[in-house]
Structure 1
Amino acid sequence: MQFNYQYLNSSLINIGVQKEFTFLPVYPNRTHAFLQTTKHSLKHDTKSIFHQITLRLQSASMAVPFKKTCHKLYGEAHVQSTTLSPISHALVSAGRASLVTLVLVTVSASLQAQDNDHDRDEHFRPGLLVVSRSVYDNLSSNVQTGTVLPPNCASTQGGCNTDTGAIADGTYPFVWNNDAYDGSFGITSRIFLDQITPGGAYVSTLEVPNSLQKGFAHDQLVTSFSSKSELALHLSTDGKYLTFMGYVAPINTIDVSNSNTPGVVDPTNPVGQNFYRAVARVDRNGHFRFTETNAYSGNNGRSAILNSSNGNDFFYTAGNAGNGGSTQPNGVVLGAGAQFIDASKQHEARQTPSMPTPLASFSVTELGAKADKIGKDDNFRGMTVYNNVLYFTKGSGGNGVNTVYFVDTTGTACPNGVGVPSSKATLPTAPLTYNAATLQTNGLPSNMCILAGFPSVPNKTASTLSYPFGLWFADANTLYVADEGDGYTGGTDLYTHAAAQPTAGLQKWVYNSATKSWSLAYTLQNGLDLGTQYAVTGYPMGSNAVTKLPWAPAADGLRNLTGRVDDDGTATIWAITSTVSGNGDVGADPNKLVAIRDVVKNTKASGAALEKFVTLRSAGFAEVLRGVSFTPGTHFNHQF
């Protein structure tokens, strides 16, 4: 049977759908081949979506030929009128005819994932999404009430808090009340990479190697469950690998996120144990490799991007360092912020990481301000690569500037600390050169710039602050920035405070080539329900006896994100929510994956008034969601 897919394609374009089976690079513009290939693996729920597409194509006189084709391929009895899931319905309703595209790509991605006869060795399928998730091993024995913490604190100059000992055992979520006693409190947990369709449908899960697995090998990686800034996901520069950061430690280990690294020991850090941080890379077949590092001693690595283009094999990473006294050892200063890490091909047990190798640094002295604590201006959270430029965000801490930065490899982009990248910029290929003799007095040399138009007033003197996290370029003139909100939990007004934040959510910034500066066009919040409490099955009711605030979480903003631009000029952005609650550590709150569609060329808030976030997935009891990315092997021309 010959199917006139050109007729369908042209008719879809006529009603405003510029992109068809976007997430199927194996079958570009081959609708018939796609349908034939997947006919035997098509499930009932996805067949119903074909019917819904038919209904939405009626105005274009396409319903009959499209429906007949489905009947011939799958049998009329299997293409019935059923109700769309709330997710699919909300996505279709959010943006008129152009959102038929998202339904189509959701169907195609789902079907592709179910096609067991194609590429059996592949775990990740191009065009799908990956969400990093962590699950707490909910055992009361993880913490013994009354235990003096942090572990081995008596052996450090930082000492112990002996007032009460741990105030809660390891039972979730009460265990996080121990943060009130031990400011370094955290427990390591497993990492899962959930593969889903763009519409949020589950496809598969890959567990990152860890000490709880049967047949456990020595190569492993974990996260700190309540550390909200961890587990960002990024594709490598060639799109072949997915990368993220964690710790080389057993599951259920206490206070790893504030531990020293073995090669950079700060004696004033009260956490008396040492663990390497590590970067993970995973290919489309689900094969892992880990690279250990001494960077981020006393704190956490948050994000990593592998430069694997043109024969390169090294990581750019973002994070923070230090958990000790006012004067930090050289290794802590060197191991903060932006790092350059050569990839290792050895098993973890054979690796011998050297001292940290910083990639870039920024100081508020570039803005004419008084110097902050050495190293703390480089407390970075998010990062991305676009057009051969490496960008970072800083959104927490009392030092530095909460804003968007870029690495200036030309040395000419920002003589006064603020500017835009040079058209001649290239990605860094070596660590930053520094003078060890002046590290404690002057810190690292500055080779970063604040992106012009973004906040440039130091946090210590700014009247208002932003909290940027993840960032994604739709094109050279459009930048979406996730703002996680200020995390306020200082009183019973925490929910109304969250709801009133004007810049929390998804910020859209546009570039003016005449002024060579960026400006905030609008902030998307509709559907995030900032400050609105939501229920979690199994969660405690009422208020936490320790914090005196309600247990129920509410969205406070967004953290990590990714996106894609369709040929019709509409961007779809997927993002992970941040939260506030009365939990002892809000980083342990079950949060959500959300999505929204936005017209890239629109620069007016009024033009986005009807756009609305849709919840695609929600973390369950003892779960958190952290990062989101497309799968390894997914390529978009605009991405790098």
Structure 2
Amino acid sequence: MRTDNMATNHIRRLTGCCVFALGLLAGTAQARDDDHGDRDHFKIEHDSLVISSSTYDPTRGALATLVPGSVLPNTAKATTTAVSGNNYVTVWNNASVDGSFGVTSPIQLTDLDAFTGRIQHTIGVPDEAVVTSFSSKSELGLHLVRDRDEHRLVFVGYAGAGVGALDVSNSDAVPGQDPTNPVTFAFGSEHAFPRTIVSMDKHGRFAYTPTINYGGNNGRAALLGSNGLYYSVGNANNGDAKTFGASNGTNPDVTETTGLEVVAPLDAPTPYVTPASSAEVDPLLQMVSNGKLDKPGKDDNFRGVTEHRGALYFTKGSGSNGINTVYTVNSLPTIANAAAAQISVVPGFPTDSAKVTGGNFTPFAVFFANDTTMYVTDEGTGNATDLANHGGLQKWSLVNGVWQLDYVLTQGLIGAVDSHLNGPAGPYPAVTTIGLRNLTGVVGRDGMVTLWATTSTSSASGDNGADPNKVVVITDYLPAKSLTGWAAHETFRTVAGPTYGTVYRGVAYAD
């Protein structure tokens, strides 16, 4: 968190007067400035916004030869066939026959002037090192910290997959890890890719910490804790592991290499090194829903991690297991004590079962404006109650040790429809904004909080994670406790997108 009066005044003038819908992250920006793609000149500037994005590329890897009838995963003992080739608009229909379907794509980072919205630098993360899964909406959360008075940006990717690989987000993390994983059955045991924490310094130099975590699913975000350890969040267990421990037949155990992980940094110049030491926090977390135990390793299907005052806060907002809510660990666990640390629901946040209530709360990311004010994004992807009452940007206040919801900011956001999304693969279905995902912000001494987030969407596409979404910004009056006065007029503005063929994932404010 930064408290900066001048910065907030500049940003407020910007967000109140203009919309800078940039086609910046689809590769067009690189033609405008040779510096944009040059790793020798990239720099994270002060008072800037860093955005992570990815652009669909059907020309590389297995995706380049994908046609109707191509072999895809189905179950642990059977395959199925593709219903679409690699056309950007229709390829996501393959999710109807392959529940693991996804394609890898390159990662791009863009540094914007937070005052003007001007693109200052862009850089492509080396795709021979790490990539992302294009339609995996929960990936590429960004975290910026100051390390020895320099910015360090941290995120998670897949090492060794390359661009255009299929179903990587549900692959094993280690070869042969889970014999019941449908992806392993279809593509072989070597179709496995370490979920890798990536660190970039302010000059665009990358370092890598591969892990054995999140086999069968994805790593969503990571941060560098104030104690020098990495903390990551994600999901695992795409196969049939029904118990914790070695008896479930997976190695490393997919039920205990998931959720919130403590990772010892390697920061190697390449991801092709022995994976780092790591340990899951509270690894046996499991609820009973409707009289039955939840699937092991699924109650800690976490995302959106942040650190505040020496504690970790993170969310669960998807899946039918566990509780969709905001969680905390009240200290920074180490590898030695991670198993003994306790994860708990933040007081005042929902405690109802997602399976029982159908998902009336789908939180994604958290930003602390101060010790008693927390902003939480909600995807709006749960039930009708979630979309009507929770989707958007929630403001919570701490009162007598319990957090209470003040209001939800939605003006200019929820229900916005983006159509006429045309490109070389044909028109993309109209996209409707239904909520928010990743979040960052800055606090001004004048009581104004400027917050940026990426949007959550709905469309007729086969996978809404592939929808062209946006980066938006809003300024909120910190003392406000209800949608009256200034707060009643607060409206979201578009910073970037929607851009045909591109998804926006993470945002991070650099002070």
TM range (shorter): 0.7 to 0.9
TM-score by length of 2: 0.85
Matched residue, 2:188: none
Kindly indicate whether the alpha-carbon contact (under 8 Å) linking 2:231 and 2:262 is maintained by their aligned counterparts in 1: yes
1:558 — aligned with what? 436
Does 1:380 find its partner at 2:291? no
Q: For 2:444 and 2:420, how far apart are their aligned partners in 1?
A: 34
Q: 1:126 to 1:361 in 2, by over 3 A?
A: farther
Q: CA deviation at 1:533?
A: 4.4
Which residue matches 1:587?
Answer: 465
Higher helix share: 1
Q: Residues 440-482 of structure 1: CA distance to partner in whole angstroms, max 9, x if unpaired? A: xxxxx66111011000122233376200001100001100000
Change in Cα spacing, 1:481 to 1:371, as seen in structure 2 (3 Å) is: same
Give the structure 2 partner of residue 616 of structure 1.
Answer: 495
Aligned with 2:96 (options 158, 166, 180): 180
Q: Which residue of structure 2 aligns with residue 419 of structure 1? A: none
Residue 232 of structure 2 is matched in structure 1 by 317
Tell me if the contact between 1:521 and 1:604 (Cα under 8 Å) persists in the aligned partners.
Answer: yes
Deviation, 1:173, is 1.7
User: Matches of 1:401 and 1:237 in 2, distance apart?
Assistant: 33
Alpha-carbon spacing, 1:401–1:389, altered in 2? closer, same or farther (3 Å):
same
Distance in 2 (alpha carbons) for counterparts of 1:91 and 1:20: 21
Shift in Å, 1:394: 0.4
Q: 1:368 to 1:406 in 2, by over 3 A?
A: farther
What one-letter code is carried by the residue in structure 1 that aligns with 2:390? Answer: T
Which residue of 1 is the match for residue 119 of structure 2? 202
How big is the shift at 1:142? 4.3
Q: Which amino acid is the alignment partner of residue 291 of structure 1? A: T
Q: How far has the Cα of 1:200 moved from its partner?
A: 2.9
Secondary structure of 2:82's match? coil
Map Cα deviations across residues 47-82 of structure 1 (whole Å, 9 max, x no partner): xx9xx98xxxxxxxxxxxxxxxxxxxxxxxxxxxxx
Aligned-partner Cα distance in 2 for 1:336–1:533? 36
- Cα pair distance change 1:368/1:586, threshold 3 Å: closer
CA distance in 2, matches of 1:557, 1:207: 28
Task: State the AA in 1 paired with 2:145.
Answer: S
Write the letter of the residue equivalent to 1:504: G
Task: Tell me the residue number matched to 2:335.
Answer: 430
Do 1:262 and 1:294's aligned partners in 2 also have CA atoms closer than 8 Å? yes
Distance 1:459 1:501 in 2: 17
Closer, same or farther: CA 349–291 of 1 in aligned 2, 3 Å: closer
Note the residue ranges of structure 1 that are not aligned, 5 or more in a row: 1-17, 25-48, 54-84, 93-112, 212-219, 410-426, 435-444, 489-496, 543-549, 635-640
Q: 1:398 to 1:237 in 2, by over 3 A?
A: farther
Establish whether residue 479 from structure 1 lines up as the match of residue 391 from structure 2.
Answer: no
- Is 1:271 the counterpart of 2:183? The answer is yes
Distance 1:91-1:604 versus aligned 2 partners, 3 A rule: farther
CA distance in 2, matches of 1:244, 1:352: 19
Out of 213, 220, 224, the residue aligned to residue 295 of structure 1 is 213
Q: Which whole-Å CA distance do the structure 2 matches of 1:361 and 1:334 have between them?
A: 5
Aligned pair partner of 1:391 in 305, 308, 313: 313
Q: RCO (CA 8 Å, sep 6+): is it higher in 1 or 2?
A: 2
State the shift of 1:580 in Å.
0.4
Q: TM-score, normalised by structure 1?
A: 0.68
Cα distance change of structure 1 residues 401 and 349 upon mapping to structure 2, 3 Å threshold = closer
Taking only the aligned residue pairs, the percentage that are identical comes to: 40
Residue 360 of structure 2: aligned partner? 465
Q: Report the Cα offset of residue 19 of structure 1.
A: 2.3
Find the structure with the greater CA-based Rg: 1
Offset of 1:620 from its aligned partner? 1.3
Give the secondary-structure state (helix, strand or coil) at the position aligned to 2:356.
Answer: coil
Match of 1:546 in 2: none
The number of residue pairs the alignment matches comes to 473
**Which residue of structure 2 lines up, in the alignment, with residue 532 of structure 1?**
417
Counterparts of 1:195-234 in structure 2 under 5 Å? 195-198=111-114, 199-211=116-128, 220-234=129-143
Aligned to 2:245: none
Q: What is the match of residue 19 of structure 1?
A: 5
**Cα displacement (A) at 1:171:** 1.5
Aligned to 2:154: 243
**2-side partners of 1:359 and 1:125: how far apart?**
34
1:133 to 53, 56, 65: 53
- Change in Cα spacing, 1:378 to 1:506, as seen in structure 2 (3 Å) is same
Shift of 1:161: 3.3
Is the 2:361–2:386 Cα contact (8 Å) retained in structure 1?
Answer: no
**1:342 Cα offset (Å):** 1.0
1:625 aligns to what? Answer: 504
Shift of 1:22: 6.3
Partner SS state of residue 151, structure 2: coil
Q: Is the 8 Å Cα contact of residues 372 and 399 (structure 1) preserved in structure 2? A: yes
Distance 1:573 1:296 in 2: 30
Shift of 1:565: 0.7
Question: Is the aligned partner of 1:406 residue 2:332?
Answer: no
Structure 1 residue corresponding to 2:456, chosen from 578, 598, 602: 578
Check conservation: 2:52, 2:110, Cα contact below 8 A: yes
Shift of 1:432: 4.2
1:344 paired residue among 246, 249, 266: 266
Superposed CA offset, 1:372-402 (max 9, x none): 2222110002111111111110001111100
Tell me which of 254, 257, 279 is aligned to 2:169: 257
Instruction: State whether residues 304 and 315 of structure 1, in contact with CA within 8 Å, keep that contact through their aligned partners in structure 2.
Output: yes
Cα separation, 1, equivalents of 2:213 and 2:293? 23
Residue 284 of structure 1 aligns with which residue? 202
CA distance in 2, matches of 1:364, 1:461: 15
> Is the 2:44–2:151 contact (alpha carbons within 8 Å) kept by the matching residues of 1?
no
